[in-house]
A and B are shown apart, each in its own frame.
Chain A
Amino acid sequence: MLPGPLPGLVLTWQIDGLSAFFALVILSISAVTGIYALGNGRHHASFPGSGGLYLLFVFAMLGVVVAGDAFTFLIAWETMSLVSFALVLTEHRREEVRRAAWVYLVMTHTATAFIVSAFLLLARGSGSLVFAEWTAHASASDAGIASVIFVLGLVGFGTKAGMIPLHIWLPQAHPVAPAHVSALMSGVMIKLGIYGLLRLSFDWLAPGPAWWGALILGLGAASAVLGVLYALMEHDLKRLLAYHSVENIGIILLGVGAAVMARALGLGAIVALALSAALFHVANHATFKALLFMGAGAIDSAVGTRDLERLGGLVRRMPFTALSFLVGSAAISALPPLNGFASEWLTFQSLLQLGRLADEPQTALLPLLAGGALALTGALAVACFVKAFGVSFLALPRSTQAAAAREVGALELIPMATLALLCIALGLAAVPVVTAIGSLVPAAMLPHDGPALGLAAPAGGRLVLPGIALALPTFGALALLLPRLLGPVRARVAETWACGIALQPVHEYTAMAFAKPIRLMFRDIVRPVRDIGVVHRSGTRFVASVHYRSHIAPIFERYVYEALTDRLVAMARVVRTLQNGSLQTYLAYLFAALLVALVLAR
């Protein structure tokens, strides 16, 4: 307990394994993005003190994970939200930036309202604001109240995490912020929603009914599949990455949901497996998402646009950025032997084992279905990053700015290369890392008779990524070298075949065309809207120009949020008749209120 900054205000701190793990993620990623900010920040119209705000942001995130009571937690949480709101507003002269920041502010405060409600209920049950007291009183609380607390907390923390359908702020706020801020928000800040959810469901509440886990699993599967589908429909590189954060939060939630469900069913071994899957994916996603956002920032500053349709050919102009971005793309697409594959492997295993060991058919089927959703997500993520990397870095540049792009400086390249190496290292060292994560998780969360954590599933199935990482280059080298025994061959350089004419950038496949088969296959979900306009030359039937636009209907914004805001506006209108702006009316209200007060006080 430390004396607070104000008299009478006492801030308590606590550090256990879970806090330390999240603190490690926060500090290591923010150190790397901080160096990147030194190089890339000069491309953004910054304001005095933005560097200090950046540090305050990191400090506030750290405060969230080491807070020991509800009051301290909320102070840190609100500081984090407000400072990140200010950082999103860095380029506040643009209308879209102000709008996105506003959406973020509203969403994050709605989330805080839910969290405060959950905290007040928890405090009422235990008679204290200190987290340790909540843990001590967890088993004494009423089951109905516990469920209410759980749902309130899930909504609050889920909004911060970017869980569907509470994700709408994320694809708006992340693209408009400077790259180092979006890297930190997408890579680290949204994970604190996961931190809160873990504390809530494992520390502050006793094991609940199985539907808690089922609810998280369902929301996780929806976030994963819809997140990647929306990402595929995007042509703005940073928005695409923001939707991938929704997807990866979904994958993490699948692990969390499996753990919560296993805890409810009393399956200790699965709790350990699923929790380590979720936490490992937290670290992995922080690594490759920060890397990819920094890569997008490098492209943005070198080309001046994030629109995929105006990029292309950057692999020759920015080879080092391209290599780092390629590693990040492969890692987020869960390709072996990188880190994303290791944590998705653990998630698959926990879902399968949970399905096998659950008694009831309905509880058994849900994790297995979530596994199917995860497979769909993985395959769509491969499609999305073939698009993102292929269209921006390969083939011919699609604009003069892309053709004139130059490689970014060392202050940007070194952070990207560091995280790219970390993606490889976390994959190869998956076993020691997962073992370390397993020992970090507080003992109260893990059953003592759980198996030693490692990349071996309880009932068979092993993954030795260093082995695969050894086999792949060996066989790749053999495939290239063995044919040389047949004698030397030459490689002649010539033009790409474009049916007899010289290849132009307009002949290339665009990002929109690339995603078209998937857009059509999932048209019932993404609802594409097509808009074709043909302009004729005046007085003739000759076509002067054709314009084609395709976009997808914003389902959640339209049917959930617009409906909600319309209600609110309608209610505000009713209230407005009371607030008519006339002094006499207000005096009449005062008089009436005074009368009522006197009558009541009599």
Chain B
Amino acid sequence: MSEAVTAAGLAFLQLAVFLALAPGVNGLIKQIKALLQGRRGPPLLQPYFDIFKLLRKDSVVSDHASAVFRWAPAVYAAAFATAALLLPVLWIPAPLAGWGDALALVGLFALARFALALAGLDTGSAFGGMGSSREVAVAALAEPAILLALFAVAWRSGGTDLSGMSAWLQTHGAAALAPSQLLAAGALVIAVIAETGRVPADNPDTHLELTMIHEGMLLEYSGRPLGILMWASLLKQTVLFALLIALFFPFGLASSAAELPLALAVLVLKLGALGLMMSLVESSSAKLRILKVPELLGAASALALLALVAEVVVG
């Protein structure tokens, strides 16, 4: 019994860490982008202020909206909260490692997308429909790339267990540095850019109807539900970064309770490094036309395929 309580406690600890760091990662990316563009950006803590303010505000709900619109934020948030607990980023195995693997993670992402895309259609607004339509189209191309990259990593470690993948990399260290893994990492980075709605696939800073994807689906949301959705999409971004960390850089994890603060600091550093990389990509590239996005994601799938071929043929 006490073991179950400890396990639940650790699970909520990891979820709390993810929730606490998620807005900060975005604040950091905005800061670095502002720095690179030679302007003074919003404060590092601005995303926290935004979410806190939205969570206390009244909302306006469309009179055409149904229960789908009301429940979608909860499903969206729950899917990423569950996904966050499948990833071993503080200690191995992950809190819910026994309940789901890499495929479950992909399935949870699909569940969140399904809920939000329906909510986008629910109010009857053309902007919402546009956002939903584009979101599912882009994701349709990102998902094979993610899955093939996961297959390329799973091939090495033996199975689709995320904690097993991290553990394999930990024990083999530098020996794991194979060309195939670099190719898979490249594929996954591109897919993560698309899934987090960043330039060049989408623009997180725009509300211009012709270009937006993710923001289009949120357009009819306001007040507290918008706050929940915003926090949940920042959680999604952090979960995707954590996936990259777990698959390709699972070092500095805690093996006892005393090492937890250190592991936490290491996680913050890793997330910061990924944030730096994302802001460099965003600042140095222009947004692609929506019809050019398939080429980018096709390249990601091709990289993942090469990773698999390299893995199977070279071994």
A binds B: yes
* Total cross-chain contacts (CB, 8 A): 289
**Please, what's the 1-or-0 string for A366-385, where 1 marks a CB less than 8 Å from any CB in chain B?**
00110111011011101101
B108 CB–A CB distance under 8 Å: yes
Quick check: B159 and A514 within 8 Å, CB to CB?
Answer: no
How far does the alpha carbon of A385 sit from the alpha carbon of B111 in the complex, in Å? Answer: 12
- A487's nearest neighbour on chain B, judged by CB, is B56
B164 CB–A CB distance under 8 Å: yes
How far does the alpha carbon of A181 sit from the alpha carbon of B312 in the complex, in Å? Answer: 47
Q: Which of B161, B220, B228 is in CB contact (< 8 Å) with A462?
A: B161
- With a CB–CB cut-off of 8 A, which chain A residues contact B133? 509, 513-517
Min CB distance B230 to A, Å, is 12
Quick check: A376 and B144 within 8 Å, CB to CB?
Answer: yes
Quick check: B96 and A379 within 8 Å, CB to CB?
Answer: no
Min CB distance A441 to B, Å, is 24
- With a CB–CB cut-off of 8 A, which chain B residues contact A355? 151, 155, 312
Quick check: A368 and B291 within 8 Å, CB to CB?
Answer: no
How far does the alpha carbon of A508 sit from the alpha carbon of B130 in the complex, in Å? Answer: 10
List A201-227 residues whose CB lies under 8 Å from chain B: none
How far does the alpha carbon of A528 sit from the alpha carbon of B170 in the complex, in Å? Answer: 50
**Please, what's the 1-or-0 string for A468-500, where 1 marks a CB less than 8 Å from any CB in chain B?**
100111111111100100110111111111100
A interface: dominant SS = helix
How far does the alpha carbon of A356 sit from the alpha carbon of B103 in the complex, in Å? Answer: 17
**Please, what's the 1-or-0 string for A340-383, where 1 marks a CB less than 8 Å from any CB in chain B?**
01000100110010011000010011001101110110111011
Instruction: Report the interface size class on chain B.
Output: 35 or more
List A80-106 residues whose CB lies under 8 Å from chain B: none
Q: How many residues of A contact B (CB 8 A)?
A: 86
A503 CB–B CB distance under 8 Å: yes
Quick check: A382 and B110 within 8 Å, CB to CB?
Answer: yes
A255 CB–B CB distance under 8 Å: no
- With a CB–CB cut-off of 8 A, which chain A residues contact B56? 486-487, 489
B154 CB–A CB distance under 8 Å: yes
- A345's nearest neighbour on chain B, judged by CB, is B103
Q: A382, A486, A487, A517: which has the most chain B beta carbons within 10 Å?
A: A517
- With a CB–CB cut-off of 8 A, which chain A residues contact B103? 345, 348-349, 461, 463
- With a CB–CB cut-off of 8 A, which chain B residues contact A477? 74
A52 CB–B CB distance under 8 Å: no
B61 CB–A CB distance under 8 Å: yes
- A351's nearest neighbour on chain B, judged by CB, is B151
Quick check: B123 and A496 within 8 Å, CB to CB?
Answer: yes
A156 CB–B CB distance under 8 Å: no
- With a CB–CB cut-off of 8 A, which chain B residues contact A380? 140
Q: Which of A349, A459, A496 is in CB contact (< 8 Å) with B64?
A: A496
**Please, what's the 1-or-0 string for A394-406, where 1 marks a CB less than 8 Å from any CB in chain B?**
1110000000000
The answer to whether residues A335 and B111 also contact, given A464-B98, A471-B85 and a CB cut-off of 8 A, is yes
List A519-550 residues whose CB lies under 8 Å from chain B: 520-521
How far does the alpha carbon of A373 sit from the alpha carbon of B128 in the complex, in Å? Answer: 29
- With a CB–CB cut-off of 8 A, which chain B residues contact A389? 118
**Please, what's the 1-or-0 string for B298-309, where 1 marks a CB less than 8 Å from any CB in chain A?**
000100110011
How far does the alpha carbon of A111 sit from the alpha carbon of B155 in the complex, in Å? Answer: 40
A291 CB–B CB distance under 8 Å: no
Quick check: A372 and B99 within 8 Å, CB to CB?
Answer: no
Q: Which of B113, B126, B134 is in CB contact (< 8 Å) with A508?
A: B126
Quick check: B144 and A379 within 8 Å, CB to CB?
Answer: yes
A152 CB–B CB distance under 8 Å: no
- B75's nearest neighbour on chain A, judged by CB, is A476
**Please, what's the 1-or-0 string for B230-253, where 1 marks a CB less than 8 Å from any CB in chain A?**
001000000000000000000000
Ordered by A's residue number, 24 sampled pairs between the chains whose C-beta atoms are within 8 Å are A330-B114, A352-B155, A356-B155, A356-B158, A372-B151, A379-B110, A379-B141, A383-B139, A396-B64, A457-B160, A458-B159, A461-B103, A461-B154, A462-B98, A463-B99, A464-B99, A468-B100, A471-B78, A472-B111, A476-B71, A486-B55, A493-B62, A507-B125, A517-B137
Residues of B within 8 A of A (CB): 15, 52, 55-68, 71, 73-75, 77-79, 81-82, 85, 96, 98-104, 106-108, 110-111, 113-114, 117-118, 121-126, 128-130, 132-134, 136-144, 146-148, 151, 154-155, 157-161, 164, 219-220, 223-224, 227-228, 232, 290-291, 294, 301, 304-305, 308-309, 312-313
Residues of A within 8 A of B (CB): 313, 315-316, 326, 330, 333-336, 341, 345, 348-349, 352, 355-356, 361, 364-365, 368-369, 371-373, 375-376, 378-380, 382-383, 385-386, 389-391, 393-396, 457-464, 467-468, 471-480, 483, 486-487, 489-498, 503, 505, 507-509, 513-518, 520-521
Given contacts A386-B121, A486-B56, 7 further A-B contacts (CB under 8 A): A335-B110, A352-B155, A379-B140, A382-B113, A390-B121, A492-B60, A514-B121
